[in-house]
Amino acid sequence: MKASVWLGENKFEIREINIPKLNDEQVLVKVERVGLCGTDVHITQGLFPSTPPKILGHEFSGIIVDVGSNVPKEKIGKRVACNTTSSCGTCINCLNWQISRCLNAEKSTGAFAEFSIMHYSCAVEIPKEMSFEIAAMTEPASCCLSGTEMIDYNNKPKVLILGSGIMGIFCQLFVLKKNIDFLVISEPNKARRDFAKSLGANFVLDPFSQDYNEEINEITENAGFDILIEAVGNPKLLAEGISRLRPRGQALMIGVHPERSNLMSDLYDFHYKELKLLGSFGRGNYFDKTPEKINQFNLEKLVTKIYKLEEINEAIESTYEGGGMKYMIAPNKG
């Protein structure tokens, strides 16, 4: 099969490699669509730990084309969203933390390739009418669903989301299903602000506007927010958002912060206001439930452009520049 192998920094090489042999409980998936993630960008920038050479890509969908001896043959031909790890259901992490943190997890092979191999439980059948593009967004959507479910939404909270990229958008969609007072989106990119507004955000603000602070004070009546969701992964933004929380407010970190970055907030203020900081990383227990959840949203317009496998550097650059919403690769596209 053809695969794009990451060699370190921003270097990728298209290689012909053998398809690994299936074990008894694995399936072979023909990769139809794989999304570019901010983590992929961070890996090429040295901001997220990963060791080359390696096939990256973890947001993907496809068709099961072969199965191991212990997997029913009826699975062949099923259209699936692909999880990155399996779960045993019996280890201490599965029982007491999250199944996505399973101690006995089997990893799926990277998706920047024509085929991927995974444990059969990682290949989750999608609704018949769902496109491969939307199905490939199951992974980031499940991360946002897991994170937003950690929040206490009692007493109709006022919510601020910093960043309206793909993670911010999914957080917005899930939060709007809750009984909230209103939702404010802060995003410098006008196209993304317009997109957030079209999906139901009550207020969309430009953080670089000279009236930004006045607008927030007017919206909140100078009382601040009950909930902050930082969906960028920028320590300065996190600190700025935390400063806007009212007493006993909650801050959710959904954006992935660089390794060795530090909390830049005034810890006395944090202590005095009795704030709660929630870290959220990964799919939690929600991956299998997510395709049905996101099928109710009109998400086709989230996909900005689809690249060929050979165009991975361009796709990485487009994702880094942040001009669109979601960039994808079609590994089997000629």
- Please report, for the domain that includes residue 318, its CATH number: 3.90.180.10
Range of the domain at 184: 151-279
Total number of domains constituting the chain? 2
Domain boundary among 279, 297, 320: 279
| Per-residue pLDDT band at 281 (split at 50, 70, 90) | very high
User: How many Cα atoms sit within 13 Å of 51 on the Cβ side?
Assistant: 0
Tokens of 72: 């029913």
Say if CB 64 and CB 119 are below 8 A apart. no
> Do 69 and 188 sit in the same domain of this protein?
no
Q: Is the pLDDT of residue 214 over 70?
A: yes
Q: What is the mean pLDDT of residues 110-131?
A: 97
> Do 81 and 169 sit in the same domain of this protein?
no
> Do 216 and 317 sit in the same domain of this protein?
no
> Do 123 and 26 sit in the same domain of this protein?
yes
> Do 217 and 294 sit in the same domain of this protein?
no
Whether 144 is covered by a domain: the verdict is no
> Do 192 and 303 sit in the same domain of this protein?
no
Domain boundary among 241, 264, 279: 279
Question: Cα(145)–Cα(283) distance, rounded to whole angstroms?
Answer: 8
Q: What is the mean pLDDT of residues 287-308?
A: 94
> Do 172 and 218 sit in the same domain of this protein?
yes
Residue pLDDT, tens place only, 28-61: 999 999 999 988 998 999 888 899 999 999 999 9
Q: Is the pLDDT of residue 334 over 70?
A: no
Whether 194 is covered by a domain: the verdict is yes
Residue pLDDT, tens place only, 88-119: 999 999 999 999 999 999 999 999 999 999 99
Whether 221 is covered by a domain: the verdict is yes
Say if CB 36 and CB 30 are below 8 A apart. no
How many CB atoms are closer than 10 A to CB 156? 11
Residue pLDDT, tens place only, 216-273: 999 999 999 999 999 999 999 999 999 999 999 999 999 988 888 999 999 999 999 9
Q: What is the mean pLDDT of residues 172-189?
A: 98
The whole-model pTM stands at 0.94
Whether 145 is covered by a domain: the verdict is no
Question: Cα(10)–Cα(6) distance, rounded to whole angstroms?
Answer: 8
Tell me which long-range contacts 10-19 makes (C-beta under 8 A, separation of at least 24).
10/44, 10/313, 10/316, 12/112, 12/312, 12/313, 14/309, 14/310, 17/113, 19/115, 19/117
Residue 180 sits in a domain whose CATH number is 3.40.50.720
> Do 230 and 272 sit in the same domain of this protein?
yes
> Do 272 and 160 sit in the same domain of this protein?
yes
Compute CA distances 211 → 208, 217, 236, whole Å: 8, 10, 20
